[in-house]
Chains A and B, each alone.
Chain A
Amino acid sequence: MSSSQREEHLSRESVQSITLSDSRVVQLRSSALGDGPAVHAYICALGLSTDNILTHAEDLPSLKVVEDRIVNIAKGEFYSLVAVDTESGDVIGNASFTFKARKKLSHIADLGIGVLPDWQHVGLGSLLLNKAIDDMRMRPGIERIELTVLLKNVHARQMYEKTGFIQEGIKRRSIKQPNGCYEDEIIMGLWLSNDE
């Protein structure tokens, strides 16, 4: 894709209104300065709703950490796509990428994604995932997307597989849950380049 096509894609796609399968409407857009409190509230709600994510109730990020990440978007060091409930203005889903500082890993984007329980099973996760991957395809230098997902999170794993992610490994007992149980993590990767 040429740079002019890329710019056109970015401006056209910057804000999307989507009607979900249950008829509710959400807006998908990049996190913007000022979104800090809404994104922070979302991360805390998500963290307390499930043990399927890495964030533990004891290490929820501070508002400052969330705001710093949003500032880092403009520097190219972070990517965050949010789904906003058009009625309440609340952030109810998110897909984010972190990028690695090391040169040998700078072609990799690490995915983190979540949807609040009330908004699951209406296609929102897939929408966020596909839009976020499309955006990575436009991003110069990114060749590979990586993620980890708990072995037991079958629904999410199926979604990733449908999108093209390949299971690359299983880390045994790599996650310790708040109840003291250890769980296995699946490592998945998606190669974006057409060359290989």
Chain B
Amino acid sequence: MSEGKMDHETITLKDGREVLIRFGQPGDGQLTYDFMLSLGESTDRMLTHPGDMRTPDEYESSIGKIATGSFYSLCAIDPETSKLVGNAAFFTGARVKISHVAGLAMGVLPEWQGLGLGVWLLNRSIEDMRKNPKIYRLDLIVMDGNDHAKTMYERAGFVVEGHRKGAVRQPDGTFDGETMMGMWVGE
């Protein structure tokens, strides 16, 4: 899934820094791993547990699915360090009855937050999904306590569809709920 035509483009954030935006591409496995590791260390509001990080090769394997249309990845890269600092990804399941649904996962590293990058990645990736003739519905899950993200999703058009109590067990053994959100992007 890579709908809009874009080799890469540069955007300027609110603090004047620039980031390079491009789609995920083969060879991004290590870059993605490093990003997920940093993101995972910065927050417990994401699903990845420090004990079940995927390997760079496993990320590479996901990136390989971009070509088959079951995965989409939009990357924000710091041009100074060439590191991934933000990402928005959509996954589509293999089952026929839910093949019109794409699930969102996204994140921005702490030092790049509050500058409009998350909103930019979110809106651009939603636009791309709207252009995808197979995708009619987007959904996502946001953990309790991540109110900033939830507000951003609501502003982008996602609607709260429910709440699951105790759906996430944190490394310290406590449980968090999660909010389910969805958006129709078909006709």
Contacts and interface: CB of A to CB of B under 8 A. Distances in A.
Nearest to A144: B166
A175 B136 CA distance: 11
Contacts of A153: none
A1 interface: no
Contact of A177 (B49, B97, B175): B97
B182 A196 contact: no
Interface in A93-107: 101-107
Contacts of B170: 104
A167 B94 CA distance: 26
A172 interface: yes
A144 B177 CA distance: 12
Interface string A35-58: 000000000000000000011101
B119 to A, nearest CB: 24
Interface residues of B, number: 32
Given A104-B47, A172-B184, A144 B167 contact: yes
Given A170-B162, A172-B184, A187-B180, A59 B168 contact: no
B99 A176 contact: yes
A191 B47 CA distance: 20
A102 B47 CA distance: 8
Interface string A172-183: 111111100010
Given A102-B49, A189-B164, A196-B166, A173 B96 contact: no
B95 A54 contact: yes
Contacts of B139: 171, 174
Interface in A45-87: 54-56, 58-59
A146 interface: yes
Interface of B: 47-49, 51-52, 94-101, 136-137, 139, 159, 161-171, 175, 180, 182, 184
Given A174-B101, A176-B98, 17 more contacts: A102-B49, A103-B169, A105-B168, A106-B169, A108-B167, A168-B163, A168-B165, A170-B161, A171-B139, A171-B180, A172-B137, A172-B184, A174-B139, A175-B98, A176-B99, A189-B164, A191-B165
